[in-house]
Structure 1
Amino acid sequence: MSSPVIDPAAPGRTVALVTLGCSRNEVDSEELAGRLTAGGWTLVEDAAEADVAVVNTCGFVEQAKKDSIDALLEASDLKETGRTQAVVAVGCLAERYGEQLAEQLPEADAVLGFDSYQDMSSQLQAILDGHKPASHTPRDRRTLLPISPAARQDGAGAVALPGHQQIQPADFVTTNSQGTDEVGTASGPPVIRARLDGRPWAPLKIASGCDRRCAFCAIPMFRGSFVSRRPHEILQEARWLAERGVREVFLVSENTTSYGKDLGDLRLLEQMLPELAAIEGIDRVRVSYLQPAEIRPELLDVMAQTTGVTPYFDISFQHASGPLLRRMRRFGDRQSFLSLLRMVRERVPQAGIRSNVIVGFPGETEEDVAELTAFLEEAELDVVGVFGYSDEDGTEAETYADKLPQEVIDARLALVTELVEHLTAQRAADRVGETISVLVEEIEDEDGELVVVGRAEQQGPDVDGSTVLTDWPTGRVPRVGQIVAAQVVDTEGVDLIARVLETHDAAVSAPAAEQDRLEVGVGQVRTS
């Protein structure tokens, strides 16, 4: 969960954004924050100090749904004790369930879907004025665009795609040095986004939706068909982020390896990565969510050979038993996945590799579990997320008859989780002695001693572990946003402990001024 780091005492209409779920949701929240700021709202950190609390929910798995509902209830309690007048649910849970969520959660003053994002400012004002909008009516968003990927771009502008910066330059004005208004900028389209924290990294959405039909996954139904953003839009937003102190951009989507297919060229990602890495101020480009069946050797080559692209491979395996993967409507098996990992490590021997797996899928046998554990023991993955299967509304797997008892799912979840914890801790320990590059993210004073924490290139944001830096050079003051060369000397689970070898003092820290974090692109939404 994240929320803005902003002065809670600001005057005027105030709004707090609470974000749950993945980095894609974080992008959506920052775009919402930009739209609201452009509409005259002031962002505050504490929902108790906000006129409206907007909760960007997650609807991925059962636990995420529960966490989202808890967050909505917690925010609703503030209406009795704080300044808060209204609580609004947005995000995936609101998009997926809409009217049903509103009926079951009357504490929320509105449940708004993705189609409301572009007009969120007026929606919130109407709520404060006592005009409760109709709750979102869910629909299968895959039906909103043509089945053929090549035909989608022409109609994508009429479909709400959060995080895609669906803005026309003519909708913006900016004041030039002579004090007169101009429309747009010579450097490219405007960006409407507000940083909600001071982190030196930021997620950057390159596509939305998914065309795969995995039997367990509901995401395509509420995120829609796969749509790529155009490269120039992504590059423009990356430059905007770099100007605000971001040193690592984290490319996010539901399926990164499909990027460009609706633009007529699956090689666009390979072409764009060097351009992103060449942006002044951007030291790292991190790629997420690669589908193993779609990974091309050419993409691996570019990721391995482009300076600035991190040696990090987020590959969605989900299981390793071939027959079970077919029931999941996926491809691959233990041997093909191991072959893919060999291809990665032939190019980048010290690559960081993460994945997710599901246990307890309907029909999973003991032999399937054995195939999965054998794969995990051979794969030497750095991080593995382990999930126990649960039915998701509207999915094919929900209709399967051969469901496993919950106690069996729980036992397999515990078994594989324990194995993964041992294997990933060993993988981290194998890195002792390696020289790594670390992005400083946090500096804390604990009893007069500075504790400096960052991430190595092989560690993804939030969930892939961190690196504690020791032996900081005498006379050098660490700063958030610095890149540090260090040698791994010890580990704690998946976390690394590394001795500083070299600091790059030319590095800039993350934005220090809150106004920098609140700045919204090149101008403001025209209200007249």
Structure 2
Amino acid sequence: MSSKTFYIDTLGCQKNEYDSQILGADLMKAGCRAVMNPEEADILIVNTCGFIDAAKMESIEHIFDMARIKGENKKLVVTGCLSQRFHKELSDEMPEVDLFFGVNDYDDIAAELLEDGPASGKVEETAADGATENRDKVRGSAEKVLHYKDRIIPKGTYSSVLKIAEGCNNTCSFCAIPAIRGPFRSKPMEECIREAEQMAADGVEELVIIAQDTSQYGIDLYGEVRLPQLLRELCKIDGIRWIRLMYVYDEGITDELMDVIASEPKICKYIDIPIQHISDHVLTMMRRRSDKASIIRTVNKLREKVPGIHIRTTLLVGFPGETPEDHQELLEFVKEAKIDRLGVFSFSDEEGTLAHSMPGKLEQEEKDARRDEIMEAQQEVSLELNQKKVGMTYEVLIDDAAGQTDDGDLLYIGRTQYDGPEIDDEVEFCSSREHQPGEFVRVVIDEAGEYDLLGREI
């Protein structure tokens, strides 16, 4: 058993946080101890994001930060998407790093990290096409099936993700994720349920369901999509109060799935659908399976079958070849469709993707101007929708305390079932009672802003 200490610096999305929890559990099983200060750690781990340029730069900065405090007796390890995607370049440019690992490589990392002496220098990597080759200090083999692994969920965690699948079989021309995380592979249903039961036993009340494409859950294991069946089983778990669906592609939103969302009280009336665009011209260039008609049909049907559902989406503007007419079509859609929660990103030119070699690329200034115009339109939509909530009463999950009012009441920040953690609207409310994060209270809404609601506990 080891007596070493470790520190994990996690960047990027919920999937990386999930992977860090698995790695932390493996290290603790081996006798290591987690520390909150990197200065105190024997092993420094940076779990990187490599999805877009801004994330890559942030990851590189964090690696150099860790390198500056490494000293002679610490081991510096880099894992995550950036390491998987640019392992050779990073290895050449960063001799300070002892080991690079890929995103599909968490089974044996702990054992290798605890080896004394320098890194072995060669580990196996499995490329996206299945070919294998030796790479200096890099590994990243993709399993055929995603399995349950123990995680370290911090004490007091009441909202956490359940990853039901890994990888992606979509071929969107702007996205490097399939090359980074490999083909789509589901976690067996019984293992998803076991993991959720353990999360509930650890105090988790909000289950956030994630995958690269949640709507395809089970297709590889069972020959059919089994997301509705999985959701019904998860709803049976005691202790889980909210189940939130993320990354559900519109072509996978079936009548059966809508019926489950509508009929199961534990499932939040909220769904994240990555639309990306509405112009058929752009959607075709993006190699999306959806078109304008299918997207609008899905949105309308969801609202019909699941009254009150809040839809979240992300849009990508400034794609190569996007014309002013395409942009105007998207702008009109935002104004007319009134999507409840919406984020917008400027196109990031990612090497290794099909879009990287496409003609018609726009200047960054133009891309950002289009992004800002979409967001300005969405602000008006969001304000209009929020104002309709004034006078309504909602169940709110408390996330944080926010001080006191001038009258001495306590202030809290929370969310309704219609808002995902850290990405959507918040409810700030006052109360005469003391509360802790993770508690549920009822709040009446008194005021509404573009992205926040103000109210009081009743």
Decide whether aligned partners of structure 1 residues 449 and 276 sit closer, same or farther in structure 2, where only a CA change above 3 A counts.
Answer: same
Decide whether aligned partners of structure 1 residues 86 and 281 sit closer, same or farther in structure 2, where only a CA change above 3 A counts.
Answer: same
2:32 maps to 41
Q: Are the equivalent residues in 2 in contact too, given 1:144–1:224 (CA < 8 A)? A: no
Q: Are the equivalent residues in 1 in contact too, given 2:23–2:110 (CA < 8 A)? A: no
User: Matched residue of 1:239: which SS?
Assistant: helix
Decide whether aligned partners of structure 1 residues 290 and 85 sit closer, same or farther in structure 2, where only a CA change above 3 A counts.
Answer: same
How far did residue 212 of structure 1 move?
A: 0.7
User: Matched residue of 1:311: which SS?
Assistant: strand
1:461 maps to 421
1:497 maps to 454
* Equivalent of residue 78 in structure 2, options 77, 89, 95: 89
2:242 maps to 284
Q: Are the equivalent residues in 1 in contact too, given 2:215–2:225 (CA < 8 A)? A: no
User: Matched residue of 1:368: which SS?
Assistant: helix
How far did residue 308 of structure 1 move?
A: 0.1
Output the CA distance in 2 between the equivalents of 1:161 and 1:265: 15
How far did residue 351 of structure 1 move?
A: 1.6
* Equivalent of residue 356 in structure 2, options 395, 398, 418: 398
How far did residue 307 of structure 1 move?
A: 1.3
Decide whether aligned partners of structure 1 residues 481 and 492 sit closer, same or farther in structure 2, where only a CA change above 3 A counts.
Answer: same
Within 5 Å, which residues of 2 pair with 1:338-353?
338-353=296-311
Output the CA distance in 2 between the equivalents of 1:235 and 1:144: 33
Q: Are the equivalent residues in 2 in contact too, given 1:99–1:138 (CA < 8 A)? A: no
1:371 maps to 329
User: Matched residue of 1:390: which SS?
Assistant: coil
2:88 maps to 99
How far did residue 334 of structure 1 move?
A: 3.7
Q: Are the equivalent residues in 2 in contact too, given 1:90–1:114 (CA < 8 A)? A: yes
2:138 maps to none
Is the aligned partner of 1:119 residue 2:108? Answer: yes
* Equivalent of residue 360 in structure 1, options 318, 337, 346: 318
How far did residue 138 of structure 1 move?
A: 5.8
One-letter amino acid matched to 2:95:
P
Query: Structure 2 length normalisation: TM-score?
Result: 0.91
* Equivalent of residue 131 in structure 1, options 118, 142, 150: 118
1:422 maps to 380
How far did residue 214 of structure 1 move?
A: 0.4
User: Matched residue of 1:143: which SS?
Assistant: coil
Query: Structure 1 length normalisation: TM-score?
Result: 0.80
Within 5 Å, which residues of 2 pair with 1:29-178?
29-79=20-70, 85-114=74-103, 116-126=105-115, 129-134=116-121, 140-143=127-130, 159-160=142-143, 164-165=146-147
Q: Are the equivalent residues in 2 in contact too, given 1:49–1:84 (CA < 8 A)? A: no
Decide whether aligned partners of structure 1 residues 239 and 326 sit closer, same or farther in structure 2, where only a CA change above 3 A counts.
Answer: same
Output the CA distance in 2 between the equivalents of 1:322 and 1:194: 44
Offset from partner CA, 1:105-143 (integer Å, 9 cap, x none): 3333321124542122222222xx331243667653353
Question: Which range is displaced more, 63-72 or 206-215?
Answer: 63-72
How far did residue 312 of structure 1 move?
A: 0.7
Output the CA distance in 2 between the equivalents of 1:115 and 1:291: 23
User: Matched residue of 2:114: which SS?
Assistant: helix
* Equivalent of residue 440 in structure 2, options 468, 483, 505: 483
* Equivalent of residue 392 in structure 2, options 434, 438, 449: 434
Q: Are the equivalent residues in 2 in contact too, given 1:144–1:159 (CA < 8 A)? A: no
How far did residue 465 of structure 1 move?
A: 2.5
Within 5 Å, which residues of 2 pair with 1:374-393?
374-393=332-351
Decide whether aligned partners of structure 1 residues 407 and 137 sit closer, same or farther in structure 2, where only a CA change above 3 A counts.
Answer: farther
* CA RMSD across the alignment: 2.4
Decide whether aligned partners of structure 1 residues 130 and 445 sit closer, same or farther in structure 2, where only a CA change above 3 A counts.
Answer: farther
Offset from partner CA, 1:185-235 (integer Å, 9 cap, x none): xxxxxx511114633111010001111100101100111111111111000
Larger RCO (alpha carbons 8 Å, 6+ apart): 1
Output the CA distance in 1 between the equivalents of 2:104 and 2:276: 31
Output the CA distance in 2 between the equivalents of 1:160 and 1:356: 29
Decide whether aligned partners of structure 1 residues 348 and 16 sit closer, same or farther in structure 2, where only a CA change above 3 A counts.
Answer: same
Within 5 Å, which residues of 2 pair with 1:189-200?
192-196=150-154, 198-200=156-158
Output the CA distance in 1 between the equivalents of 2:423 and 2:353: 27
Offset from partner CA, 1:123-176 (integer Å, 9 cap, x none): 2222xx33124366765335379xxxxxxxxxxxx84489x445xxxxxxxxxx
One-letter amino acid matched to 2:417:
E
* Equivalent of residue 412 in structure 2, options 444, 452, 455: 452
How far did residue 445 of structure 1 move?
A: 4.1
Output the CA distance in 2 between the equivalents of 1:302 and 1:374: 31
Is the aligned partner of 1:26 residue 2:26? Answer: no
Decide whether aligned partners of structure 1 residues 267 and 293 sit closer, same or farther in structure 2, where only a CA change above 3 A counts.
Answer: closer
One-letter amino acid matched to 1:132:
A
Decide whether aligned partners of structure 1 residues 40 and 91 sit closer, same or farther in structure 2, where only a CA change above 3 A counts.
Answer: same
1:154 maps to none
How far did residue 289 of structure 1 move?
A: 0.4
User: Matched residue of 1:358: which SS?
Assistant: strand
Output the CA distance in 1 between the equivalents of 2:351 and 2:174: 9
Unaligned runs of 5+ in 1: 1-10, 146-157, 167-190, 502-528
